[in-house]
Amino acid sequence: MTLRSRTAAVAAGASIALLLSACSTDDNGGGGGGASASDVPGAEVLDDLDQAVEVEFWHSMDSTNGQVLNGLIDEFNAANEGRVRVTGTFQGDYDTTLAQHRAAIQQGDTANLIMVYDLGTQFMIDSGQTVPAQAFVDKDEYDTGALEDALLNYFTVDGDLRSFPFNNSTPLMYINRDAFEEAGLDPDNPPKDLAEIREFAEALTITSDDGQVEQYGFGAAVYGWFVEQFMARAAVPYCDNGNGREGRAAEALFNDPKIVEVVEWWQSMIDDGLAVQIGRSTDDAQAAFTSGRAAMTLESTGSLGGFLEQSEFEVGAGYFPLVSSDDPGGSIIGGASLWINGEGHSQEEVRGSWEFVQHLLTAESQSVWHAGTGYLAVNTEGYDGPEAQERATEFPQFAVAAAQLADSETSVNTAGCMMGVMSDARVAAEEGWEAALTTNDSAEAALTRAKESLQRKIDEYNDSVG
Amino acid sequence: MLPAVPTSTTEAVTGADAAADPAPPARRRRTPSADRAPGPRRETLLAWGFLAPSIVVFTLFLLYPLGRTVYLSMHGNDIIGRPSRFVGLSHFQEMFSADFGKVLVVTALFTLGVVVPGAIGALAVVLLLESQVRAQRFFRSAFALPFAFSVASASVIFAVFYNPASGVLNGLLYQLGLGQVAWLTSTDMALISICLTTVWMNLGYGVLILAAGVGSIPREVNEAALLDGASGVRRAWYITVPLLGPQLFFLIVISTINALQGFGQIHILTQGGPVGSTTTLVYSIYQLAFAHGTSDFGRASAQALVLLLMVLICTAVQFGVIERKVHYS
């Protein structure tokens, strides 16, 4: 046994060394930030093909959203017969899709086009598999003028657009208009900041004779994304080094006094019986709102369709609240963008992927996409399309999200934090917030501890990318 | 190394034996007869042949992954999740911390909170069914029904029950004029709620196993006790329960292992929260390796080895201690 196992160990060691050296050459030569317009294939590579080039597209859109997306894919395939054929596959939620992508990188078998959530942006840049979106824009002199500024702001790093925004949303405040009217409040003027929410909640909370709360004024999920949104609205950065856009972010800043204020406010709302305590489940928060138990809630624009369908009352929407009334009020986006993989893919495939992305970004497609899913129209001209117009007439609430973005100035604080472990950061912020609500710790102590628990992950990530 | 010499000597000796006795086995091989056993070498070959499929399967699906886990546990990962640097035992050293201690405590509480009420509950149902109930078959199937539910669907149903604002349970309490319970949103209640769900999910299996056991208890034993004037309770406690020993023991071992590996209900109901109060070892492994965009396979593998050790120890202790008291008829 001994001799053989020693040989095996040596062989294994050698193969690992080979593997590692192979990886490191990959990393050095990878298509990270180096690709320029001249490396990007032009439309001519798709001329005179024997058969259409296959483009594999990994996404996280299922049910209604998936059907709308498949409609757009079919449309593109029909128009590009003999040139490009796109196959979309649902890979599970964003986390799962990214995990599959990691495995695919290890096996050298990535999809051509992949949908990655906002939090994965820095990771996608560091893993060096993709062709930066800017290279395509430069090559084709593609006009990004119509694309939503807040989105370009988020996905532009070091002056280059890194990926193409596609399914994006922004959080809003939703109100039960019927409850507002019953309480003598004006549903057309929903509260704008935390103090006002509390004031409104006092009027909206209904307690029965035996002291049980029948209707809470407020109820929303403890959701890390909201921390990012509150900070953007207060114009404070989420992480250091200019939100990680001037240099690599080395520290998260979500224990900022503004967030401490939010968490303390949240706690007092629950303690005083004005808000129902909902954990981290956004499903539970949605149920609390649609069942009429909570008269105000915070949720993504993407939930509007579901709210309209499931509520027996009239649903209203307002801007996401400010922490305090003197905050400048920026707005940050969430959702995912599209990345075109270059590493290990032919010129034809890369070109085919880009042409498909262009199809998704046309005003026509975006009108269909926005009306069918409730996501923002990435191409703002999409709001003028017939489908979007029809929807806006039927449900004026849809206009609020676009207005909230148009109303907010873009700055480095609203661009969002670029951090390799951004997904962990969101969870850490959420856990700190939750700990403050469920334990005896003060908001400041809980958030600071959460921030410290994240530090090891930030350091390890930064060390491993050098 | 030293043992290498004796091994090769033995091989040489075996080889010499075979060489010294060459012809007969060779002939036998060509004309196999029913009354003569095949030669030793052929027998060995045959044995390996029969073993080969299971060896291949075990190696591929158990030994190789185990070896790989050990290897990964001693390495840090790059951002793609590839092992990139040797870290020795530092992932194991890190476990001597309050955070990991809490994970172990939660795991132990969860296991106890599932295994003990689960066994008692299943036993109670079976004993009640054993007494002459009308529509016994119906009740037996009804109580065994949770077994047919997948973890996911059962958890989703319980999520509806537990919903803090519009949940069925809080609705009931409200109708009764009682206070509201923060089923999944308080650090004190969340684990209890998860245990409740799990006990319900496991009940069907427990009832099936124990009901089968009751069916195998010889009729005469009970009849004898009946003639002696033993009451129903006495018969249940002094006859049925001791004779159910093997089934109860099996149930406890299996449900302990299941509890240590419980995942779906935690993932769907609480995602390990609030504040880690339902983060068991398995859930911690999942979070490190796959959740929210991390690929810390190194630490996850180290914890997976700890889990393996815990299952081994639990099972060994149960076989060593409880099994001695089990009466196999």
Of A216, A420, A431, which is closest to B275 when you measure between CB atoms? Answer: A431
Searching chain B, which residue's CA lies closest to the CA of residue A449? Answer: B275
Confidence at residue B164, expressed as pLDDT on a 0 to 100 scale: 82
Residue A37 CB-density burial (10 A; 0-12 exposed, 13-18 middle, 19+ buried): middle
**Do A136 and A178 share a structural domain?**
no
Searching chain A, which residue's CA lies closest to the CA of residue B80? Answer: A102
Angstroms from B25 CA to nearest CA on chain A: 29
SS (H, E, C) chain A: CHHHHHHHHHHHHHHHHHHHHHHHHHHHHCCCCCCCHHHCCCHHHHCCCCCCEEEEEEECCCHHHHHHHHHHHHHHHHHCCCCEEEEEEECCCHHHHHHHHHHHHHHCCCCCEEEEEHHHHHHHHHHCCEECHHHHHHHHCCCCCCECHHHHHHHEECCEECCEEEEEECEEEEEEHHHHHHCCCCCCCCCCEHHHHHHHHHHHCEECCCCCEEEECECCCCCHHHHHHHHHHCCCCCEHHHHHCCCCCCCECCCCHHHHHHHHHHHHHHHCCCECCCCCCHHHHHHHHHCCCECEEEEEHHHHHHHHHHCCCCEEEECCCECCCCCCCCCCCEEEEEEEECCCCCHHHHHHHHHHHHHHHCHHHHHHHHHHHCCCCCEHHHHHCHHHHHHHHHCCCHHHHHHHHHHCCCCHHHHCCCCCCHHHHHHHHHHHHHHHHHCCCCHHHHHHHHHHHHHHHHHHHHHHHC
Q: Which residues pair with A57 in a beta bridge?
A: A88, A113
Interface touch B164/A291, C-beta < 8 Å: no
Is the predicted pLDDT of residue A374 greater than 90, yes or no? no
Residue A212 CB-density burial (10 A; 0-12 exposed, 13-18 middle, 19+ buried): middle
Which sign does the torsion angle of CA B211, B213, B216, B220 carry?
A: negative
Q: B312: Cβ–Cβ under 8 A, 6 or more apart, which residues?
A: none
**Do A340 and A316 share a structural domain?**
no
Q: Give contacts of B174 with chain A, Cβ < 8 Å.
A: 212
Q: Which of A284, A447, A455, A461 to mutate to test the interface with B (most CBs of B within 10 A)?
A: A284
User: A76: closest CA among A369, A318, A303?
Assistant: A369
**Do A424 and A347 share a structural domain?**
no
B57: enclosing H helix or E strand = helix B40-58
**Do A155 and A232 share a structural domain?**
no
Confidence check on the interface: ipTM exceeds 0.90, yes or no: no
Q: Which of B10, B172, B181, B185 to mutate to test the interface with A (most CBs of A within 10 A)?
A: B185
Q: Look at residue A450 and tell me if it is in a domain.
A: yes
Name which residue leads in pLDDT, B238 or A230.
A230
Quote the pTM value: 0.82
Is the predicted pLDDT of residue A59 greater than 90, yes or no? yes
- Give A385's Cβ-side CA count (13 Å radius): 21
Assess whether the previous peptide bond of B274 is cis (omega < 30° from 0): yes
**Do A356 and A297 share a structural domain?**
no
d(CA A176, CA A185): 11
Q: A307: Cβ–Cβ under 8 A, 6 or more apart, which residues?
A: A174, A286, A289, A290, A299, A315
A257-271 helix and A422-438 helix, angle to the nearest 10 degrees: 40
Mean residue pLDDT of chain A comes to 88
Confidence at residue B36, expressed as pLDDT on a 0 to 100 scale: 57
Token couple for A454: 């994240």
Confidence at residue A38, expressed as pLDDT on a 0 to 100 scale: 66
d(CA A269, CA A294): 12
DSSP B179: P
Residue A224 CB-density burial (10 A; 0-12 exposed, 13-18 middle, 19+ buried): buried
Is A41 near chain B, with CB under 8 Å? no
Which domain CATH number covers A460?
A: 3.40.190.10
Q: Look at residue A413 and tell me if it is in a domain.
A: no
Domains with residue ranges and CATH for chain B: 95-325 (1.10.3720.10)
The percent of residues above 70 in pLDDT, for chain A, comes to 92
Q: Look at residue A396 and tell me if it is in a domain.
A: no
Between chain A and chain B, how many beta carbons pairs sit less than 8 Å apart?
A: 113
DSSP B84: E
Q: A419: Cβ–Cβ under 8 A, 6 or more apart, which residues?
A: A122, A239, A244, A249, A252, A425, A458
Q: Look at residue A107 and tell me if it is in a domain.
A: yes
**Do A320 and A189 share a structural domain?**
yes
Confidence at residue A357, expressed as pLDDT on a 0 to 100 scale: 96
Q: Which residues pair with A218 in a beta bridge?
A: A275
Residue B97 CB-density burial (10 A; 0-12 exposed, 13-18 middle, 19+ buried): exposed
Confidence of residue A388 (pLDDT cuts 50, 70, 90): very high
DSSP B185: T
d(CA A319, CA A404): 6
Q: Look at residue A30 and tell me if it is in a domain.
A: no
**Do A190 and A163 share a structural domain?**
no
Phi, psi dihedrals of residue B303, rounded to the nearest 5°: -70, -35
Lowest mean pLDDT among A274-278, A458-462, B106-110, B292-296: B292-296
**Do A265 and A197 share a structural domain?**
yes
d(CA A273, CA B238): 54
Q: Which of residues 393-432 of A touch B (CB under 8 A)?
A: 420-424, 426-427, 431
**Do A183 and A151 share a structural domain?**
no
Is the predicted pLDDT of residue A266 greater than 70, yes or no? yes
Q: Which residues pair with A168 in a beta bridge?
A: A335
Are B202 and B123 in contact by the 8 Å Cβ rule? The answer is no
d(CA A292, CA A187): 15
Confidence at residue A91, expressed as pLDDT on a 0 to 100 scale: 93
Token couple for A296: 């105000």
Residue-number span of the structural domain to which A123 is assigned? 35-169+334-384
Of A98, A106, A291, which is closest to B293 when you measure between CB atoms? Answer: A98
The torsion defined by the Cα of A356, A362, A367 and A372, in degrees rounded to 10, comes to 10
- CA A100 centroid distance within chain: 18
d(CA A308, CA A319): 17
Phi, psi dihedrals of residue A175, rounded to the nearest 5°: -130, 155
Is B294 near chain A, with CB under 8 Å? yes
Q: Give contacts of B274 with chain A, Cβ < 8 Å.
A: 279-280, 434-435, 437-438
Interface touch A279/B79, C-beta < 8 Å: no
Sheet holding A171-176, edge to edge: A296-300, A171-176, A315-318
Residue A196 CB-density burial (10 A; 0-12 exposed, 13-18 middle, 19+ buried): middle
Q: Look at residue A452 and tell me if it is in a domain.
A: yes
Give me the DSSP letters along B245-259. HHHHHHHHHHHHHHH
Q: Which of A277, A289, A456 to mutate to test the interface with B (most CBs of B within 10 A)?
A: A277
Confidence at residue A15, expressed as pLDDT on a 0 to 100 scale: 40
Q: Look at residue A14 and tell me if it is in a domain.
A: no
Confidence at residue A370, expressed as pLDDT on a 0 to 100 scale: 92
Q: A3: Cβ–Cβ under 8 A, 6 or more apart, which residues?
A: B4
**Do A192 and A256 share a structural domain?**
yes
Which residue is it, tokens 């158990």? B62
Q: Give contacts of B275 with chain A, Cβ < 8 Å.
A: 431, 434-435, 438-439
**Using a CB cutoff of 8 Å and minimum separation of 24, what contacts does B228-234 make?**
B232/B131
Length of chain B: 329
Q: Give contacts of A420 with chain B, Cβ < 8 Å.
A: 79
Q: Look at residue A389 and tell me if it is in a domain.
A: no
Confidence at residue A284, expressed as pLDDT on a 0 to 100 scale: 87
Is the predicted pLDDT of residue A313 greater than 80, yes or no? yes
Is A103 near chain B, with CB under 8 Å? yes
Which residue is it, tokens 């940050």? A332
Is B5 near chain A, with CB under 8 Å? no
**Do A143 and A66 share a structural domain?**
yes
B86: enclosing H helix or E strand = strand B83-86
Confidence of residue A184 (pLDDT cuts 50, 70, 90): very high
C-alpha distances (whole Å) from B17 to each of A67, B39, B41 are 73, 12, 10
Q: Which residues pair with A379 in a beta bridge?
A: A147
Confidence at residue B286, expressed as pLDDT on a 0 to 100 scale: 93
Say whether B180 sits in a helix, a strand or coil: coil
Instruction: Let me know the angle formed at the C-alpha of B219 by B214 and B221, rounded to the nearest 5 degrees.
Output: 95
Interface touch A280/B271, C-beta < 8 Å: yes
Confidence at residue A36, expressed as pLDDT on a 0 to 100 scale: 64
- Over the range B252-285, which residues count as b (16 or more CB within 10 Å of their CB) and which as e? bbbbbbbbbebebbbbbbbbbbbbbbbbbbbbbb
Residue-level pLDDT, tens digit, chain B, 329 residues: 334 434 333 344 444 444 444 444 444 444 444 555 557 888 999 999 999 999 999 999 999 999 999 999 999 988 888 888 899 999 999 999 999 999 999 999 999 999 999 999 999 988 888 776 677 778 888 888 888 889 999 999 999 999 887 788 988 888 887 878 889 988 889 999 999 999 999 999 999 999 888 888 888 888 888 888 878 788 888 888 888 888 998 899 899 999 998 999 999 999 887 888 999 999 999 999 888 777 889 999 999 999 999 989 988 888 887 777 776 75
Interface touch A278/B84, C-beta < 8 Å: no
Q: What domain count does chain A have?
A: 2
**Do A250 and A107 share a structural domain?**
no
Confidence at residue A26, expressed as pLDDT on a 0 to 100 scale: 36
Alpha-helical segments (H) within B145-294 = 151-162, 168-175, 190-215, 219-227, 232-235, 241-243, 245-260, 264-269, 281-289
Angstroms from B201 CA to nearest CA on chain A: 22
d(CA B206, CA B253): 12
B129: enclosing H helix or E strand = helix B98-130
A224-233 helix and A422-438 helix, angle to the nearest 10 degrees: 100
Highest mean pLDDT among A268-272, A402-406, B295-299: A268-272
